[in-house]
Amino acid sequence: MRDFIDEERITTLLEKAVNPEPERVRDILAKSRGKERLEPEETAVLLQVEDPELLAEIYQAAGEVKNAVYGNRIVFFAPLYVGNKCINNCVYCGFRRTNAAMQRKTLTLEELEAEVRTLINHGQKRLILVFGEHPAYNADFICRCMEKVYSIKEGRGEIRRININAAPMEVDEYRRLHETGIGTFQIFQETYHRQTYAAVHPAGDKKSDFQWRLYGLDRAMEGGIDDVGIGALFGLYDWKFEVMGLLYHAIHLEEKYGVGPHTISVPRIEPAINTPFANVRENRKYNVSDEDFKKVVAVLRLSVPYTGLILTAREPAAIRRELIPLGVSQIDAGSRIGIGGYQKSADGYLPEKEQFQLGDIRSLDEVIAEMCEMGYIPSFCTADYRCGRTGEQFMALARPGLIQKFCIPNAILTFREYLLDYASERTRTAGEEVIKKTLDDMGKDDPLRRKVVEEKLLEIDAGKRDIYI
């Protein structure tokens, strides 16, 4: 069966784009500044830029495009790993079934509740539930987990949005997740290069079926889930090829469903217990340097302006500080990825229960304070999903940059909740300053909207919660 990843075409485009003319690069940047999604030929050109002056222009343009679409807000979420059983044997993964050092654990609903209460008490409002690829983690089990999480109230807090990262499913299974109230369903192809995919996913495993995974999000959309997330695991194959694969995936979803990916994630391979893959010299040839990783983030932002671009706590704090201004719109913080880790890992790590090792284990409050000091407004907004601004409606607002008319006010409102209910004094001071500046900027362009937000802030100050536009 032929699919939408044409390896020969990708290779040809990259070869033709070597040493691009500066005028060509600047024409492409101008198109992206107009919030237009780039064509593969144009993305290939940006990927081949080596000139420091042009790279600086790419980085500047990426930040401008992100701000033009989403404004200065950064969405916060937390991962919650529910179970690490797995039937696959992916050679790079700590969860692989032959890893004898991995302690297998699936949270009971009571243990899940304890984890969620801890997260709520930290101030989290958005979760992604992560499951190993195993029959035990079927749609019915995931639905029970979602129902449990949504039912939990702790003080003034609650979880308002649940995304899912799990094995690809059949259409009817996705339909049950949709009916239960899923946000985004996320599947990472890992690598879009077939030979590499076959080498790292042993034959006979469910995951060895390249096309079953590749079309997993098609089935999700056919099952009614209109927000889907894609990603590649950078370090398995050439990073330029993977960026092109992600773009082709976005184009495929656009052309078939009229809706591109809600998010694109850019994880890099990290060490895991008893998993030597990342440390074998032969496998390190595709490691993505920090400098090249900057290009990954910036070029994806320019290529798919409307998407949410996720940079996770896999990366160390210093790298995240450097990359966020290049177009990132969503990050996690205060994260623990060992099963039961929010309750049990005082130092942040449970290596015998983790898929990989995190690079940034700072608290949510520390990261929020840093984002404020960098000029961003943290957001826990979930209003789009509850107001029906998903799928085609979201894209209709995101493509021209109109979505920030909702994103920025709702960021302010949800952030004020955090400042009142959970923040340290340092974070509260920095947060109130960034709210004031954001309101001042809003007032210059849209004084009526500022007035509406200020009225809703008074309601929050009086004790009301979950107020949004």
pLDDT in tens, 26-50: 999 999 999 999 999 999 999 999 9
User: Taking 80 as the threshold, does the pLDDT of residue 281 lie above it?
Assistant: no
What is the C-alpha separation between 469 and 387, in angstroms, rounded?
A: 9
Query: How many CB atoms are located within 10 Å of the residue 284 CB?
Result: 12
What is the C-alpha separation between 393 and 370, in angstroms, rounded?
A: 33
Q: Which residues pair with 165 in a beta bridge?
A: 130, 186
In the chain, % helix, strand, coil (3-state, to 5) comes to 50, 10, 35
If residue 263 lies in a helix (H) or strand (E), which one and from where to where? strand 263-265
Chain-centroid distance of CA 435 in Å reads: 24
Give the rounded percent of residues in the chain with a pLDDT score beyond 90.
90
User: Is the model's pTM score more than 0.85?
Assistant: yes
Amino acid making up residue 43: T
pLDDT digits over 61-100, tens only? 999 999 999 999 999 999 999 999 999 999 999 999 999 9
Tokens, residue 209: 């079926």
User: Taking 80 as the threshold, does the pLDDT of residue 447 lie above it?
Assistant: yes
Across 140-145, average pLDDT: 98
User: Taking 90 as the threshold, does the pLDDT of residue 287 lie above it?
Assistant: yes
Tokens, residue 347: 């130092």
The Cα-based distances of 107 to 60, 101, 131, 183, 187 in angstroms read 44, 19, 10, 21, 22
If residue 321 lies in a helix (H) or strand (E), which one and from where to where? helix 317-323
What is the C-alpha separation between 277 and 143, in angstroms, rounded?
A: 34
CA-wise closest residue to 228 among 266, 183, 190: 183
Across 379-397, average pLDDT: 85
- The sign of the dihedral angle between the CA atoms of 346, 347, 353, 357 is positive
What is the C-alpha separation between 184 and 205, in angstroms, rounded?
A: 26
**Contacts of residue 80, Cβ cutoff 8 Å, sequence gap at least 6:** 112, 115, 116, 119, 127, 128, 129, 130, 342
What confidence score (pLDDT) does residue 419 get?
Answer: 98
CA-wise closest residue to 237 among 276, 277, 294, 283: 283
CA-wise closest residue to 375 among 435, 313, 315: 435
What confidence score (pLDDT) does residue 344 get?
Answer: 85
What confidence score (pLDDT) does residue 346 get?
Answer: 65
- For residues 411 and 73, the answer to whether their CB atoms sit within 8 Å is yes
What confidence score (pLDDT) does residue 1 get?
Answer: 65
What confidence score (pLDDT) does residue 38 get?
Answer: 98
